[in-house]
Each structure stands twice: as structure tokens, then as C-alpha cells.
Chains A and B, each alone.
Chain A
Amino acid sequence: MNPNRILRIDRIACTGQGLCGELLPELIDLDEWGYPILKDRIVPDRLRSHTRRAVAACPRLALHTDDT
């Protein structure tokens, strides 16, 4: 069985660039200042590659996934 993949945001590193919300709108909304609002922390299998891309694209390296 695959472990769950959990989205995590380093709130101090994040500066609200908003890329994650554009690349992964299924899981991440943005507030009016461009900071992420997690809609769901658990990454469904079908979104694994999108999530990987969003994690890699964050210019502040503030988006992470952890396995549980």
C-alpha cells in the first residue's frame, strides 16, 4: 500500500508568490495577498505529478510533501 503523501507549507519561508495556487488549484487556494490556503493536505494519487511540479516550482522552497 502506498503511503499517504501530505502537503506541508513552511509558513516562514513562504512569501506569497502564489505559484502553488496556480499550479495546483485542486488542493491550494490563494488568499487576497497570494498566500496559500490548503484545501486538502492529502495528495490523491492522480495529482502526484502535478504536486511534484508545484513543489519544484516554489521559488522559496516553501512547499513540501511528507510521506506518512
Chain B
Amino acid sequence: MNHSTAAPFTPGHRAPGPDSSGARLLAGWHATGRPATLADHLRRYGPPPFTGGTPGLVDSVEAAGLTGRGGAGFATARKLRGVMDGRGPAVVVVNAMESEPGSRKDQFLLAVAPHLVLDGAVLAAAEVGADTVHVCLPRTRTAQHRQLGTAVEERRRARLDPVRIRLHALPHGYVSSESTALVRWLDGGPARPQGSPPRSHERGVARRPTLVHNAETLAHLALIARHGPDWFRQAGTVDEPGTTLVTVSGAIAAPGVLEAPLGTPLATLLDRAGGPTGPVRAILLGGFAGTWLPAENVHTPLARRELAPLGASPGAGVLVALPHTACGLTETARMLAFLAAHGARQCGPCRYGLPAVAEDFAALAAGHAHPELLSRLHRRTGLLPDRGACRHPDGAARLAASAMRTFADDVGHHLTHGTCPAAHRPPRIPVPPATPLETWR
């Protein structure tokens, strides 16, 4: 499914499990084990229920309590209303960039249920008065581009949609999945975050009010349009309703993408992915811009409210189990080097701060101690958040700070005795090459 980078697993080839309880977005996949064609999709769900301008969808989405499944977790109805309140015709953008290296869920969803995502985008477009849906994909995923092209062509032949759907192949930078970077690219610029106001929902693509949603979010929206808010709330918690897609990898027997109600304990998610292959040292939650949690926290529910006190959040649903045999500092150093190389280099923190933190961390991981290394690392890490045009430095700082917290014993060991034995083993978390993007256009 992903032909560009070395995938730690290939969820697309995983046989549908017998446990399909609670699956919504993946229900078709669990039932048939093959990607849904338009005919399959229409048989299962029927055509997208356009209300023809009558108010309805945004109220349903609000009552359902759907939040964005891209990481920020913003209320979907508020975004929709923001665009509806904007001046002039609107634009809808599907964010299918999924640049987080630990995440596969959007690629998987788009491969097995493309029409659910496209339904959601077209329904949202009809609701906000947009005539075009732009689907943004990374340029490197050629197979995905081809599959989605086929799906769009099926819909065009069937004259299913009242709006146009256009696919775009963008440069695959880590920060290119930021919504303002998509808007900037669609307007002919580089796929780098924009930062300054106005916000995309006020003035985005071609200066029009622009709705940018993650692929999974739109698929949930398509089901809410069909089954209503009460149905949606049958899964998840009162505060955080619905199911969510989770990518589980690392020291786990059956890594892959699964669907679970929000509020499911992390331990249950690990078990559903076949269970750990050995004692787990820590869990990386949220991916490269996420948070390391000690294994003691494994019973925490995957929910914003319960994770917030631990400094974590569900993010885009990435869960990596680190085995006891791995060195958390070495793994973190490699991820930080990648994040540093993939900054947009527009702001101070990404030009200097983040590369400096990554270098300090590499020295720590390599056991190159010098007296002020740790205090300098803490100070520099503290200077990253809130000082960039986007949240990239904030995410890197979260990763670095949580690693120093979670692997505090190792930090002490590396500083006083040099590297731990685990640091010499092959790394466990696949990290793409830490080379900057050749082109942003």
C-alpha cells in the first residue's frame, strides 16, 4: 500500500479478523476482506444522503460530537459553521497527507473504503456550498493515487456527486500535512505552513472560506449523515463519542490498523493487535510528535480527558510499543533527527532550536556526556513551543521532554556510564531518512 517508505507492517494484507465488533469505518473490510468498489459501497450504505440545502448535517455532526481525527481534535461542527459563515463560495480540502511516519490509518481507510471518505467530503461540500473537493495526497504514494483516481472515476461515471473532485499530489514533507500548507500549495505556493492570520476557514484556497478535514473525520461524517447522532454516540464516551482508527506497531504480535471506541484502554488496543511480544518498556502515543508514556500507564483510556494529565493526547491514534530490550533515548534521537530535517525552516525554532535539540539528544543517546548537556537540553527544549508559525516545534519538544521524563534512569546512565547495552541493538522504530525535502512545490 505504501510503496515509498519501508513500512513496518502492511495492514492492507492483513486478513479481516473475526473480531469486527464495533467496526464502523472498517465494517465493509471486516465483512468482505477486499477494498470496496462503488458497487460494494452503494450496496452497503446507499447513495450519500444529500439534503439539498435543508439544514441538517451540521446540526447532526454537532449533536454527534464528532471531533477531527487528524490530531488536533477540533470540533468538526464548529469548523463547518466557520466556513458556512464565511463570505463567498467555499472550498473543501481532504487532508490525506498522513505524514506521521508511525501512522497508516488514513492510507488504510482510503485503500479499503475510499467511497466513505469521498462521500463525507462531498456531503460536507454540499453543506457548506462548495463546488469543488480537493483531495491532497503525498506525491510519493503513487499506488494510492491510482486507486483513488479509479474511485473518483467510478463516481463520475455514475454521476453520483453534485460537486467536482480533484486529486492532487503534493511534496511529502512532514509539515506539508499542516492545513495552511495545503492551502498554500493549492494556491500555487510551496507546501509549507503559513502561520499568520487569516485562518483558512475565513480565507483559504483562492481566498475563499476553506474547510480542511482529515480523511478519517470525513468518513465518520458520512456515516453520521446516514445514521444520525444517536447512532454515532452508541460508541465511545459521553465527552468523546464514536470510534477511532488506531495504528499499532512496535513490539506487538500483529501490528496494523484497527478501529476502536474512544475511551478504550491502551492495553486493550495492544491486545487487539496480538498483544506484546515481550515485556513492554514504554508506549509512544501519537507518533513522532507524540508522548512517551511509561508502561505503568498502559491502562489509561484512549481519550483526551484521561490522557491530558499525563501530558498526552490520542493524536492521530498512533501507538508504538517499545520492548524492554530497546533504548528509548536512541529511538528518540533518531526521531528528533528526522523531525529536525523535516522542518519548514521558516522560523527560528525550526532553523536553529529543533536541530540543536536533536544534536544534543544525539549526544546524550551516544553517551557523549559533558557537564552542561542536560541543562542545555532542557532549556532548549523549553524554548521550542509556541514560537513557530505551526505546531511542528511544539510536537518535537513534547517528544523530547517526555523521553527525558520516561527514560530518566537511562538519561542518568548515559550521562555517567556512557551508552546502555540496548543502545547498540538495531533500532526498533522505523524512521524515514533524515534528509530535508528537495522541493516544496
- Docked complex: B180-224 residues within 8 A CB-CB of A: 194-196
Interface size on B, residues (CB 8 A): 14
Binary CB contact string for chain B from 342 to 354 against chain A (1 if under 8 A, 0 otherwise) = 0000111101110
Q: Is the CB of B389 within 8 A of A12?
A: yes
Is A14 an interface position by the 8 A CB rule? Answer: yes
Supply 5 further A-B pairs (C-beta < 8 A) apart from A33-B348, A37-B387. Answer: A12-B346, A12-B389, A31-B353, A33-B353, A35-B347
- Interface flag for B253 (CB, 8 Å): no
Q: How far, in angstroms, from A10 to B387 measured CA to CA in the complex?
A: 10
The 5 lowest CB-CB distance pairs between A and B, nearest first, are A35-B348, A11-B347, A33-B352, A12-B346, A11-B389
Contacts between the two chains (Cβ within 8 Å), count = 36
Contacting pair B383 A14 (CB below 8 A): no
- The 23 sampled A-B contact pairs (Cβ below 8 Å) are A10-B196, A11-B195, A11-B346, A11-B347, A11-B348, A11-B387, A11-B388, A11-B389, A12-B196, A12-B347, A12-B389, A14-B348, A16-B352, A31-B353, A31-B383, A33-B348, A33-B351, A33-B352, A35-B347, A35-B348, A35-B353, A35-B387, A37-B383
Does A31 lie within 8 Å of B196, measured CB to CB?
A: no
B346/A35 in contact, CB under 8 A: no
Output the least CB separation between A47 and chain B (Å): 21
Chain B interface, DSSP helix/strand/loop, else mixed = loop
Contacts of A12 in B (CB 8 A): 194-196, 346-347, 389
Chain A CB within 10 A, most for which of B194, B346, B347, B383: B347
The docked-state distance in angstroms from the alpha carbon of A16 to that of B389 is 14
The reply to whether B348 and A16 contact each other, CB–CB distance below 8 Å, is yes
Which residues of the other chain, A, contact B352 by a CB distance below 8 angstroms? 16, 31-33, 35
Interface secondary structure of A, over-half rule: loop
Binding site for A on B (CB under 8 A): 194-196, 346-349, 351-353, 383, 387-389
Contacts of B347 in A (CB 8 A): 11-12, 14, 35
Distance to closest chain A CB from B34 (angstroms): 46
Interface size on A, residues (CB 8 A): 10
CB distance from B352 to the nearest CB of A (A): 4
Min C-beta distance of B275 to chain A, whole Å:
44
Nearest B residue to A29, CB-CB: B383
Nearest-neighbour CB distance to chain B for A58, whole angstroms, equals 14
Chain B's closest residue to A8 (CB) is B196
Are B348 and A31 in contact, CB atoms less than 8 angstroms apart?
Answer: yes
Within 8 A of B (CB), among A5-19: 10-12, 14, 16
Q: Provide the bound-state CA to CA distance between A12 and B190, in Å.
A: 14
Distance of B9 from chain A, by nearest CB (Å): 37
B195 to chain A, nearest CB (A): 6
A33 closest partner in B (C-beta)? B352
Contacts of B196 in A (CB 8 A): 10, 12
Q: Which residues of B contact A11 (CB under 8 A)?
A: 195, 346-348, 387-389
Q: How far is the CB of B252 from chain A (nearest CB, A)?
A: 39
Q: How many Å lie between the Cα of A12 and that of B343 in the bound state? A: 12
- Minimum distance in angstroms from B185 CB to a CB of chain A: 16
Q: CA–CA, A48 to B113, complex, Å?
A: 57
Within the complex, what minimum Cβ distance (angstroms) separates A6 from chain B? 13
